[in-house]
Amino acid sequence: MRIKILGSAAGGGFPQWNCNCRNCAGLRNGSLHATTRTQTQIAFTIDSKVWFLIGASPDLRTQILAASELAPPEDCATGSPIGGIFLPSPDTDSLMGLLHLREFQSFFVFATASLQKILKKENRIFGVLDRADPPVQWQTLSARGRLGCHLSESPGEAPAFICATVPLSDTYPDYVSAELVPTLAPEEATIGFSFEHRGKSLFIAPSLSGRNSEWTKLATPADLTLIDGTFWSDDELRRTGRSNKTARDIGHLPLSGTAGLFEQFPRNARGRRILIHINNTNPILDEDSPEHRAVLDAGFEIAYDGMEFDL
Ligand SMILES: [Zn+2]
């Protein structure tokens, strides 16, 4: 399995266009030892031909253009190596990119029934995907399940890889109407993915509320974990003047502090652990900061755009 991180920042990217926090200002004026990051986007392939996306970031068009692997195949007048997209949640930042893919291209979208309901009932702009011939095909994921995924339509063939899912949060975004929310399954609000191929597994949870610990069952055996590194501390948005909400209020387990990610991450996990979806306010982005050092000392790595892995 080959994995490529096309974007590693949280919503807004780094720097964020309207943010003048220490990090964003420092990056703009050159005083901060840090690297720009686009909004979180992950891609993987098991055969180096068909690629799958995790989420669809608002930066997806430029991210695809920056990755030569995702260019149309040489022998085709039109087409894309992107075969499917796995959607983890209805958060704007993991959906908006679908609109970049509206150019009459057919592919699969894997999403829970609740997420599909939000898009099809209340956000009909995503119906532009149906203009492709054949139209985009929606595949339903359960919040807890194992789905065999095929790269060809040959009958009787074993799945090329397995997608296992786990519920990560029970809260829907504010833009979903009060009428619709009670009809949605709480466990389908945000899900994590484990992709398994030839005895190797990749666990992905860019948005982890920490309200349950089921995710540790998939993170413990994973060869590679890409996990929520949004905030260093619970009160980070308050301290930087960005919001009155805490990290936990908006569904992100902070890295540090009591019962933060560093404390909750399973001690016996065996694979590489990479922090992704890093908010522009997070001090770990400053490569000279004590927080950046603390991440490395805790055995984690920090994702950057263009980072690649082979499993
Ligand atoms: Zn900022």
pLDDT (tens digit, 0 to 9) for every residue of the chain, 311 residues total? Answer: 999 999 999 999 999 999 999 999 999 999 999 999 999 999 999 999 999 999 999 999 999 999 999 999 998 888 999 999 999 999 999 999 999 999 899 999 999 999 999 999 999 999 999 999 899 999 999 999 999 999 888 878 899 999 999 999 999 999 999 999 999 999 999 999 999 999 999 999 999 998 899 999 999 999 999 999 999 999 999 988 888 999 999 999 999 999 999 999 999 999 999 999 999 999 999 999 999 999 999 999 999 999 999 99
User: 22 C-alpha to center of ligand 1: Å?
Assistant: 7
Beta-carbon contacts of 217 under 8 Å, excluding residues fewer than 6 positions away, are 166
User: 185 C-alpha to center of ligand 1: Å?
Assistant: 34
User: 239 C-alpha to center of ligand 1: Å?
Assistant: 12
Q: In the beta sheet, which residues pair with residue 7? A: 41
Q: What is the CA radius of gyration of the chain?
A: 19
User: 61 C-alpha to center of ligand 1: Å?
Assistant: 23
User: 177 C-alpha to center of ligand 1: Å?
Assistant: 29
User: 279 C-alpha to center of ligand 1: Å?
Assistant: 8
**Could you tell me the pTM of the whole model?**
0.96
User: 157 C-alpha to center of ligand 1: Å?
Assistant: 49
User: 19 C-alpha to center of ligand 1: Å?
Assistant: 4
Distance CA 138, CA 196 (A): 21
User: 253 C-alpha to center of ligand 1: Å?
Assistant: 19
Residue 272: the pLDDT is: 98
Residue 243: the pLDDT is: 87
Note the maximum CA span of the chain: 59
Residue 265: the pLDDT is: 97
User: 85 C-alpha to center of ligand 1: Å?
Assistant: 29
Q: Is 37 exposed, middle or buried (0-12, 13-18, 19+ CB in 10 A)?
A: buried
User: 252 C-alpha to center of ligand 1: Å?
Assistant: 17
User: 29 C-alpha to center of ligand 1: Å?
Assistant: 13
Residue 77: the pLDDT is: 86
User: 264 C-alpha to center of ligand 1: Å?
Assistant: 27
